[in-house]
Chains A and B, each alone.
Chain A
């Protein structure tokens, strides 16, 4: 399987502005002083190997959208945040004519940042495409219709060209969708949210965002340890620091990098992708949190190493 991150930002899209671009350019040029960068190859090597990611790139600003590419002829995608707009354009560029396509979206929940991309998902306007929105909330249809109702958007949901179906799921049950086995899990978040464990050919990917963990002790019997057990990749809401998550932002429905590491270590997961980045953080801050999380994984490790990744828009991970 292949995982493509189309949107990794939490709560609200967070585009960078001209000042940020200028600061990155300035830092890159300062770091380039005294170097021989007189061919395109040496420039590429300098950018790719020597500049920090926060200078050479960006974690991106789109809200939650993650594609699980299982190599089948139907698309499997988690959430409809603003990243789904880029996903839609990617699909249209690859499929000409862009008709007869089948999409399966798995919804963590229907807060705005997880649905806001759908009105801009171009394949939804193409007759002949089929879009199945899977989720455990009873208000799936209502939430999507409301978002596209006047005066908030000019095109009503019911006028979209594609055939759109809603598929209710129950947490704990296993479903076979598009050649992939999927198990939803209820999570603690305002109005509830749901994580999903996707399994195919013995490989598992867990998508677990907008999920607060309120345990006072954590051990093998904690349900999320079982949910993450031996997963090849756990995509985890690490929006806040632990101090924030259990004090001023307690009950806000999000978690921390510390808990992410502890749970994935206990579950013997292979990789952890930090996800749902705080929109107030710039690239340097997200990079700092990433480095700290790698360090925490080292010092808390009990025999099993979890590889820590900080997800960014455009990242692809082969599982």
Chain B
């Protein structure tokens, strides 16, 4: 799976592209866990190029979110595609993972 990587100050911004499902989730989870690491990193997922997220993809997000909390890091998502936003609401992930409208909103909030 293609996952872009940029820095906005202390924030590592990952930009996955396409669907996060059975096929792509293992690579997505591995990349995400590597980014969250063990030293309290701040990771933002720019989801503007993800058009679908299955339960397996949501599980990957949950695993990474738990790890981020365990190492005093931060992880959030931004720029949800309307359909992915619906999936977040239906699965109630919007209650357990911080959601920003866009990357700039996250950067402003975390600066």
Known: A218-B55, A243-B95. 15 other contacts (CB 8 A): A217-B56, A218-B56, A219-B22, A241-B90, A242-B91, A242-B93, A246-B62, A247-B96, A258-B90, A292-B90, A295-B90, A296-B90, A299-B86, A299-B87, A300-B54
Residues of B contacting A218 in the complex (Cβ-Cβ under 8 angstroms)? 22, 55-56
Instruction: Fill in one digit per residue for A218-244: 1 if any B CB lies within 8 Å of its CB, else 0.
Output: 110000000000000000000001111
Residue B92 is within 8 A (CB to CB) of chain A in the complex: yes
A262 CB contacts on chain B under 8 angstroms: 54-55
Q: Does A216 count as interface, using CB distance less than 8 angstroms?
A: yes
Residues A241 and B25 in contact in the complex (CB < 8 Å), given A216-B56, A259-B55, A262-B54? no
- Alpha-carbon distance between A18 and B83 when the two chains are bound, in angstroms: 39
The CA-CA distance from A257 to B52 in the complex, in Å, is: 17
- What is the CB-to-nearest-CB distance from A76 to chain B, in angstroms, rounded to a whole number? 32
The interface residues of chain B, by DSSP majority, are classed as: helix
Instruction: Please tell me if the beta carbons of A241 and B92 are within 8 angstroms of each other in the complex.
Output: yes
Provide the bound-state CA to CA distance between A262 and B87, in Å: 13
Q: Could you show 30 A-B contacts with beta carbons less than 8 Å apart?
A: A216-B56, A217-B22, A218-B22, A218-B55, A241-B91, A241-B92, A242-B55, A242-B58, A242-B91, A242-B93, A243-B62, A243-B92, A243-B95, A243-B96, A246-B59, A247-B62, A247-B66, A247-B96, A256-B55, A257-B90, A258-B55, A258-B87, A258-B90, A259-B55, A262-B54, A292-B89, A292-B90, A295-B90, A299-B52, A300-B54
Nearest 10 CB-CB pairings of A with B: A241-B92, A242-B91, A243-B92, A292-B90, A243-B96, A217-B22, A243-B93, A258-B55, A296-B90, A246-B62
A217–B26 CB distance below 8 A: yes
Residue ranges of B at the interface with A (Cβ–Cβ < 8 Å): 22, 25-26, 52, 54-56, 58-59, 62, 66, 83, 86-87, 89-93, 95-96
The number of chain A residues touching the other chain, given as a range, is 20 to 34
For residues 162 through 215 of chain A, which have their beta carbon under 8 Å from a beta carbon of chain B? Answer: 215
On whether the beta carbons of B56 and A242 are closer than 8 Å, the reply is no
Contacts of B26 in A (CB 8 A): 217
Task: With both chains docked as a complex, state the minimum distance between the C-beta of B58 and any C-beta of chain A, in angstroms.
Answer: 6
- With the chains together, A292 CA to B26 CA distance in Å? 27
Query: Closest CB of chain B to A228's CB: distance in Å?
Result: 15
Contacting residues, chain B, for A244 (C-beta < 8 A): 92
| Distance to closest chain A CB from B52 (angstroms) | 8
| A22–B63 CA distance with the chains assembled, in angstroms | 44
* Complex: A209 Cα to B95 Cα, angstroms: 26
Residues of B within 8 A of A292 (CB): 89-90
- CB-nearest residue of chain B to A257: B90
Give residues 247-275 of A contacting B (CB, 8 Å).
Answer: 247, 256-259, 262
A 274-299 binary contact with B (CB < 8 Å = 1; else 0): 00000000000000000011011001
- Chain B nearest CB from A311 CB (Å) reads 19
**Contact pick for A216, options B59, B86, B87, B95, CB 8 Å:** B59
Q: How far is the CB of A223 from chain B (nearest CB, A)?
A: 16
Chain B residues near A299 (CB, 8 Å)?
52, 83, 86-87
Q: Once the chains are docked, how many angstroms separate the CA of A215 from the CA of B26?
A: 12
Closest to A213 in B: B55
Q: Which of B25, B55, B83, B95 has the most CB of A within 10 A?
A: B55
CB distance from A244 to the nearest CB of B (A): 7
Determine how close the nearest CB of chain A comes to the CB of B97; give it in whole angstroms.
8
A256-B91 CB under 8 A given contacts A217-B22, A299-B86, A300-B54: yes
